[in-house]
Amino acid sequence: MPEVPELNEINERLGPLLRELRSDREECPFVVDQDAAGRAALAHYSGGRDATYIVVSRKWNGGLPLSDLAVTIRYAPFVEGTAIIYDLTDETMQGKARPFVCNLGLRLSRVYALLPFQIEETTLIVDTSGGARQLHVAFCDAGGETIQATLPFELRLLGSDRRALRAEYCATDRRGRFSQVLTAGSSQMVVRSLLTGREQSLDL
């Protein structure tokens, strides 16, 4: 897990993701102007081949009311205009790589993911070939290919009465894979992406 002191306020929902991140020595894909750089810090981390995670953190409000503490995010020249930005703080797609306002008035930091393409599908597979029921989760692009990146999600396992047997935050590994033995008695699983907010369920 990288040293990320600016993530102290992030709760346990991103813990599994943080364990997979690595320090990124390349240029940060996000850029702020000189004035904003005095109020906000940027840090970025590799999440595997297909994802970079960027943290925008409040440094100083410059005497501004917190409600006015916002910075405009722009991009380094190497970022393609077709790249997709996800807001993990709000669990939504920010959109393509266009300038946007990052509001830090109510938060110490906000976390974003940059991917070269959009997450189109969540695949859920249960393998029983080894005896135990093994769950496999992956996120795919428009061509059905697994996105090779650590991507965070919430996993809920439900019983026959549709009550939760277990709920936990997870993440795929840097190759985009996640596997786990299913809890005995579970009859449905639900995966909610922490990047898109979308859910995918499978009856067992």
Q: How far apart are CA 92 and CA 48, in angstroms?
A: 20
Q: Are residues 91 and 179 in the same domain?
A: no
- Residue reference for tokens 């440094």: 59
Rama region for 117: left / alpha / beta (φ>0; ψ in -120 to 50; rest): beta
Handedness of CA 88, 197, 200, 97 (dihedral sign): negative
Q: Are residues 96 and 179 in the same domain?
A: no
CATH number at residue 49: 2.60.40
pLDDT at 5: 42
Question: What is the total count of domains within the chain?
Answer: 2
Residues in the chain where the model's pLDDT stays below 70: 1-11, 60-68
pLDDT at 166: 87
pLDDT, tens digit, 9 for 90 and up, residues 2-45: 444 444 446 678 999 999 999 998 999 999 988 788 888 999 99
Q: Are residues 129 and 106 in the same domain?
A: no
> Whole-prediction pTM value?
0.89
Domain region containing 195: 121-203
Handedness of CA 86, 91, 95, 99 (dihedral sign): negative
pLDDT at 88: 94
